[in-house]
């Protein structure tokens, strides 16, 4: 179980998504850029030209390296591209949440958490 200190300083939300989702969420005010020389953003815009390895690396960065992120939002169709990483990541912090995007409606069948829910109830 995560100790007290580890999730008390997790305050930010991070997002990996297509341009519209990221823009909307940034308008809501979740965007954060760390100060200093190696400024890090807590969002990644994915378009058709983005490499899967780049998404993968951002996912790892948000889930493992950065300790200030409480919730990671990721578009479902992007999560689909790195499905293996999303499914293997089982830690409670940060919470990985799959969200629908404008062009891809939400499909509960593909969600890694809902899949576990289904498996538990034997459906």
Residue ranges in contact with other proteins by CB under 8 A: 1-2, 4, 7-8, 10-13, 19-33, 41-43, 45, 70-71, 73, 90-93, 95, 97, 99-102, 105-106, 108, 111, 113-114, 116-117, 120-121
Contact between 74 and 86 (Cβ < 8 Å): yes
Question: Which conformational region is residue 122 in: left (phi greater than 0), alpha (psi within -120 to 50 degrees), or beta?
Answer: left
For residues 25 and 35, what is the distance between their CA atoms, to the nearest angstrom? 21
Stated length of the chain: 123
- Smallest separation (angstroms) from other proteins to the CB of 75: 10
Q: How far apart are CA 11 and CA 49, in angstroms?
A: 31
Output the smallest distance, CB 51 to other proteins, in A.
19
H or E, element range at 120 = helix 112-120
For other proteins, the closer CB: 81 or 95: 95
Q: How far is the CB of 25 from other proteins (least distance, A)?
A: 6
**Closer of 65 and 117 to other proteins (Cβ):** 117
User: What is the nearest approach in angstroms of other proteins to the Cβ of residue 8?
Assistant: 6
Alpha carbon 42 to chain centroid, angstroms: 10
Residue closer to other proteins, measured from CB, 53 or 105: 105
């Amino acid at each position: 179980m995560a100790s007290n200190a580890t999730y008390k300083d997790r305050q930010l939300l991070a997002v990996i998504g297509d341009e519209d989702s990221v823009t909307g969420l940034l308008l809501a005010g979740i965007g954060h850029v760390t100060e200093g020389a190696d400024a890090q953003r807590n969002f990644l815009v994915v378009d058709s030209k983005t490499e899967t390895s780049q998404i993968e690396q951002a996912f790892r960065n948000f889930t493992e390296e950065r300790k200030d992120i409480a919730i990671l939002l990721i578009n479902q169709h992007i999560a689909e591209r790195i499905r293996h990483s999303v499914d293997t990541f089982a830690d409670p912090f940060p919470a990985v949440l799959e969200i629908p995007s404008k062009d891809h409606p939400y499909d509960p069948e593909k969600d890694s958490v809902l899949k576990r829910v289904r498996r538990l109830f034997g459906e």
